[in-house]
Amino acid sequence: LLILPSKVATLSAPGFTFGSTWILYPLKDHFGFIPNLPCRICETTMGRLCLRDLAIIIPIHFLVPTLAFWSLQLLLPAFFTSYAIDPVIYSERNPWIVDLMSETLVNALFTVGLLVIPEILRINGIRRGYALLILYPLYSFSVDAVGKASVFGPNLIYSLRCVSRQEEVPIAQWSHLLGPILGGIIGGEIMSLFPDDK
């Protein structure tokens, strides 16, 4: 446990949970796609999805976690849900453009990593579970970055605030909503440079 990002121990690292390969890859096996908004935007940029598909996918990605968090709030004890659905609130001390660039870079690397690493492991005969170790430096940097930790999904930030009845996301924190979207687009452009065998 000592190797985990320090914020994991304090239950303040939702990105480490929602972006975990141990969760996303089994969901991909079941549903046929990675249920992560930046990844879906990345696939659209690559041409795997059309804009019409994305117009349906984006509202679903915002609606599903909102309903899931509401269900947790209704079904689980209050002392547990107060931690499980605590809203992600970022520091506004950082310049807006710095947060935007950080989120964009982290999410571009995250989307490319999620799509490429399983194939590299498969080619080398290594179990896919080790993908978490390869992505660990990215998780650790992002999760423990003071005031800049990414949750690898703008829909999760919005859903957690909505369910917790927080105020709307301040303008200064919109970089954490726009950054993952731009990161998905850049990740798709990077992936487009290589042959796509899906």
For residues 147 and 37, is the Cβ–Cβ distance under 8 A?
no
Note the pTM of the prediction, 2 decimals. 0.78
pLDDT in tens, 49-94: 898 998 998 899 888 888 887 887 788 776 666 555 666 666 667 7
What kind and span of H or E run contains 49?
Answer: none
- Helix, strand, coil percentages (3-state) for the chain, rounded to 5, are 70, 0, 30
pLDDT in tens, 101-148: 888 988 898 899 888 888 888 888 988 888 877 787 777 666 544 555
For residues 178 and 154, is the Cβ–Cβ distance under 8 A?
yes
29 burial level (CB within 10 Å; 0-12, 13-18, 19+)? exposed
25-29, 173-177, 192-196: segment of lowest average pLDDT: 192-196
Task: Read off the tokens for 116.
Answer: 């490429």
Q: Token pair 């992600």 is at which residue?
A: 88
Q: What is the pLDDT of residue 100?
A: 86
Cα distances from 156 to residues 62, 89, 180, in angstroms, run 7, 12, 11
For residues 51 and 44, is the Cβ–Cβ distance under 8 A?
yes
pLDDT at residue 46 above 70? yes
Residues whose CB falls within 8 Å of the CB of residue 196, separated by 6 or more in sequence, listed in order: 46, 47, 48
Position 2 confidence tier, pLDDT thresholds 50, 70, 90: very low
Position 22 confidence tier, pLDDT thresholds 50, 70, 90: confident
Task: Read off the tokens for 111.
Answer: 């989307």
18 burial level (CB within 10 Å; 0-12, 13-18, 19+)? middle
Identity of the residue numbered 125:
G
Q: What is the pLDDT of residue 140?
A: 67
pLDDT in tens, 160-172: 777 766 655 566 6
Cα distances from 33 to residues 18, 24, 86, 92, 96, in angstroms, run 15, 9, 27, 34, 32
Q: What is the pLDDT of residue 40?
A: 92
